Amino acid sequence: MLRFLTAVIRRDLKLAARRRGDWLTSQFFFVMVVSMFPLGIGPDPAMLAKVGAGVVWVAALLASLLSLSRLFADDHRDGSLEQMLLSPNPPVLLALGKALAHWLIYGIPLLLIAPILGVQFALPADAIAVLMLSLLIGSPVLSLLGSVGAALTLGLRGGGVLLTLLILPLYVPALIFGAGAVDAAVAGLGAEANLSLLAAFMVMTLLVSPWVAAAALRVSIE
Amino acid sequence: MNLAIFKYAAPMTFYRLAGRMIPWFAWGAGILTAIGLYIAFFVAPTDFQQGEAYRVIFIHVPAAWMSMFIYLVMAFWSAVGLAWNTRLSFMMARALAPTGMVFAFLSLWTGALWGKPMWGAWWVWDARLTSSLILLFLYVGIMSLWSAIDDPRRGDRAGALLTLVGAINVPIIYFSVQWWNTLHQGATISMTKAPSMAATMLIGMLVMAFAAWFYAIATSLVRVRGIILERERHTEWAAEILEGK
């Protein structure tokens, strides 16, 4: 069981390593979306510090949705997804492995880029640390919930936009607790409450979404 | 289980039952709306604090109730459909969604009409407004998923899964929005400390709530009949009905 899970993750990591262009596109999308905001709302550091966490988090949601639309699509197109579902290994582990691989490939870089963007938005150092921590706890939610959407919209026309419509409302708690943690840290309230709730939400999605994603894959493939 | 009611799980028998029920609910909705609006405009007293503008609650509150309740009913039918593989359950979920979306939109719209004279703004990021907006987004997501999938069997199941994920998430969203709201702005005026309602206001609102129920049942039955005919058009009985018209 565990070997199958690690095999799925390692396969996706290898595929991503061979297609660096796709990977970079998603990271630059994240950086560019965030950088547009000061141009739109003005360079006042006090205001930027106020909106910074929210902007980074919303951009992280959009960037992860952008890469999620391809989560199962490539494997579906060349038939390997069907083979993996036909194998005796439980589809839940396949869905979990794909989501975890997505988190490693696309979620971790987000939180490594975030400090630079935090500096751009004049966030104080401790707020940047909280921002990274909130992304560390929150980005698995994006991959896990997004895997459900990716499985539901597999092979549909306009899949990417559709995925966004389906999944963005479900991301709301992660956005609120994630950005809220940073705001609380900036306000000197302490981020623990927000981070604990975010972690609770993450654990819940970890428990539920692989099952739903596996069921959705079976619905989409048959 | 061998209960007689289960025979209505067959689309053919349910089509006929729905046909007999629709006039009752449609007329019921019409009559109740007339009574409710009469109470709303002529019987219920003018509110001491809010003046005449409060009268929008006779539409607003039933619409907000129904938008939430219909989502729960959709989640129920989705769960039944996934568990027992009954086609009619999925059809019911599909038939309910547009009505639920209309009510969600109506509650936001009338809320804005009420907010302008009361709060001085068409929209504030109040916890209840925000969670109603997200509920509307959930309806939009489910309906756009259905419209993107041509295969009815896949569409039924995919929509049901999404509805259930949404149903699990709705309480969390509601809680998080409330949490977010208390952190960001404590100063919005709340309805909760408003003085208790006059009895006629409450009666009017309840009558309008029943009218909304009847309307929702009637429209979703009409819609489910359409869906049944479309899905069963290859069968003999459906073909007879389609040609007879």
Note the pLDDT tens digit of each residue in A75-118. Answer: 898 888 988 888 888 999 999 999 999 999 999 999 899 999 99
Res B13: pLDDT: 85
Helices (H), B85-187: 87-119, 127-148, 152-184
Checking if the pLDDT of B175 tops 50, the result is yes
User: Is-contact A66 A26, C-beta < 8 A?
Assistant: yes
Domain count for chain A, please give it: 1
Checking if the pLDDT of B121 tops 70, the result is yes
Closest by CA to B29, choosing from B206, B211, B207, B203, is: B211
- Residue B84 resides in a domain: yes
Cβ distance B144 to A183 less than 8 Å, yes or no, reads no
Res B183: pLDDT: 64
Is the confidence metric ipTM above 0.90 for this complex? no
Chain B residues in contact with A172 (beta carbon < 8 A): 134, 173, 176-177
- Residue B4 resides in a domain: no
Checking if the pLDDT of B188 tops 50, the result is no
Q: Residue B3's pLDDT band (boundaries 50, 70, 90)? A: low
Q: Does B147 touch chain A (CB under 8 A)?
A: no
- Residue B229 resides in a domain: yes
Q: What range does the domain containing B42 cover? A: 20-187+195-244
Closest by CA to B90, choosing from B150, B26, B9, is: B9
Checking if the pLDDT of A58 tops 80, the result is yes
Helix/strand/coil percentages in chain A, nearest 5: 85, 0, 15
Name the minimum distance, in Å, from the CA of A200 to any CA of chain B. Answer: 11
Instruction: Pull the structure tokens for residue A46.
Output: 């006090």
Predicted TM-score (pTM) of the model is 0.89
Cβ distance B165 to A169 less than 8 Å, yes or no, reads no
Query: Which residues share a beta bridge with B30?
Result: none
Nearest residue, CB atoms, B161 vs list A145, A157, A215: A215
Of all residues in chain A, the percent with pLDDT exceeding 70 is: 100
In whole angstroms, give the CA distance from residue B121 to residue B73.
33
Name the minimum distance, in Å, from the CA of B129 to any CA of chain A. Answer: 14
In whole angstroms, give the CA distance from residue B219 to residue B215.
6
Q: Residue B2's pLDDT band (boundaries 50, 70, 90)? A: low
Cβ distance A158 to B148 less than 8 Å, yes or no, reads yes
In whole angstroms, give the CA distance from residue A183 to residue A50.
7
Query: Which residues share a beta bridge with B47?
Result: B51
Name the minimum distance, in Å, from the CA of B212 to any CA of chain A. Answer: 26
Nearest residue, CB atoms, B145 vs list A152, A157, A197: A152
Res B158: pLDDT: 93
Q: Residue B187's pLDDT band (boundaries 50, 70, 90)? A: very low
Instruction: Pull the structure tokens for residue B71.
Output: 């989502």
Give the tens place of pLDDT for each residue, B189-240: 445 545 566 778 888 888 999 999 999 999 999 999 999 988 888 888 888 8
Q: Residue A1's pLDDT band (boundaries 50, 70, 90)? A: confident
Residue B188, SS3 per DSSP: coil
Instruction: Pull the structure tokens for residue B150.
Output: 């041509």
Lowest mean pLDDT among A47-61, B5-19, B84-98: B5-19
- Residue B179 resides in a domain: yes
User: Is-contact B58 B41, C-beta < 8 A?
Assistant: no
Query: Which residues share a beta bridge with B51?
Result: B47
In whole angstroms, give the CA distance from residue A52 to residue A142.
19
Distance (Å) of CA A203 to CA A3, A159, A207, B18, B36: 22, 27, 6, 44, 47
Checking if the pLDDT of B50 tops 80, the result is no
Cβ distance B149 to A156 less than 8 Å, yes or no, reads yes
Checking if the pLDDT of B136 tops 80, the result is yes
- The CA-based angle B132-A157-B222, given to 5 degrees, is 55
- Work out the average pLDDT over B106-114: 89
Cβ distance A168 to B157 less than 8 Å, yes or no, reads no
Q: Does B165 touch chain A (CB under 8 A)?
A: yes
- Work out the average pLDDT over A151-168: 88
Checking if the pLDDT of A66 tops 50, the result is yes
Interface probe with B: pick from A166, A182, A196, most Cβ of B within 10 Å? A166
Checking if the pLDDT of A32 tops 90, the result is yes
In whole angstroms, give the CA distance from residue A159 to residue B144.
11
Res A149: pLDDT: 94
Nearest residue, CB atoms, B144 vs list A165, A170, A219: A165
Cβ distance A219 to B157 less than 8 Å, yes or no, reads yes
Checking if the pLDDT of B6 tops 80, the result is no
- Work out the average pLDDT over B26-30: 92
- Residue B3 resides in a domain: no
Chain A residues in contact with B180 (beta carbon < 8 A): 176, 180
Checking if the pLDDT of B1 tops 60, the result is no
Residue of chain A nearest B153, judged by CA positions: A219
User: What is the average pLDDT score of chain B?
Assistant: 85
Cβ distance A219 to B180 less than 8 Å, yes or no, reads no
Chain A residues in contact with B154 (beta carbon < 8 A): 219-220, 222
Name the minimum distance, in Å, from the CA of B15 to any CA of chain A. Answer: 27
- Work out the average pLDDT over B157-167: 93
Chain B residues in contact with A165 (beta carbon < 8 A): 137, 140-141, 144
In whole angstroms, give the CA distance from residue B222 to residue B99.
11
Res B192: pLDDT: 52
- Residue B13 resides in a domain: no
- Work out the average pLDDT over B8-23: 85
- Residue B6 resides in a domain: no
Domain count for chain B, please give it: 1
Whats the size of chain A, residue-wise? Answer: 222
Residue B200, SS3 per DSSP: helix
Nearest residue, CB atoms, A220 vs list B158, B166, B173: B158
